[in-house]
Structure 1
């Protein structure tokens, strides 16, 4: 049996004295895309932050490729273990597209050949990013900025890729382009955990889905098997 790229076991934690997550068990296999769905306030973003140790763990473990990283500091996790595309992208808008990308691979700066290879992967996936590499990020559309944000995450060459609401605020054509990019990453063997409100996008891109409600996993299914009744159940949980 394959060692999961990502595994959480009984993960609980939150902010201050209050738990937001309650015993989260989930897995992402190597080369698998998994969606974490749920209504606003369900704890989805908190779950992603907990994986990066940005949220206190009270109980449970986080493993990447079989290594327990529960106690790792965030900066160590971000160096090739887990990469994040945060909600809202959070680019340096006054910097060029290329500068934003290179910041993602800052810990690899001594290995110029590897950085150049990763940059080539980003440009191959999103040709528009290469065309605009010398422009300030502020000059790009929302969809193009999201491509840059995904590219910046790719530049850290993470074992697991996290994306928090990547479709938020994007036009339909931009969502289609982003979905195609995520599908290509999955086909290239990347391991992805996607937080999304759009069930259609999650089912299009992902192999499996988890539904989070009240900080607990309440449903798990194979994306391809979700029919009308399953879709209605997911929609009910999403509110």
Structure 2
């Protein structure tokens, strides 16, 4: 197990995906309330203006979420881990890619989450991961519904040594099994491994961050990552 914040071993098959984004902007509505954070059955639930975003692998008892930014185009949160105070992950919803069509009313937006994996002793970041999900929803007056979503795309944003993601399984689907719908579930799992032997110093940092060395004379290092959650309409925190 790599960390206490929701990373678990999970066997998977390799998949490749792409995310398509639109262009344009939409201004915030007048007197729009600030984003909110709440706990729901101990999970973290973030209010992202048009929907709520539940991080079901994180416990509200272990992670404190606070609003970092809210604007006409972006809602962003910082996630502070009680057991690992040097780790600050971020979650954001980007509406700058959203341009509501006058003909079909579809609004796309991009959810982004960055996650840092650090050596527990030195707090040095060994890997920073980012995943993105695009959701497309219909908005007409007070009525809203999801009309589609792209599978999560997991990428390595930074690594202390050459690494790759393998055995990737990722997806997002309607909770009813069809579209339109008002709730989506997403998940991904992958193995994260070095692609060449590393120095003893780097190996020590990787081990301190939860990576497992292979039994080779010059070992490679492997870790596993996993996440799951939901994106909902009509269930804003505190309401």
Asked whether the two chains share a fold, i.e. TM above 0.5, the reply is no
TM-score, normalization by structure 2: 0.24
Q: Which has the higher contact order (CA 8 A, sep 6+)?
A: 1
Of Structure 1 and Structure 2, which has the larger fraction of its residues in strand?
2
TM-score normalised by length of structure 1: 0.24
Q: Give the structure with higher Rg (CA).
A: 2
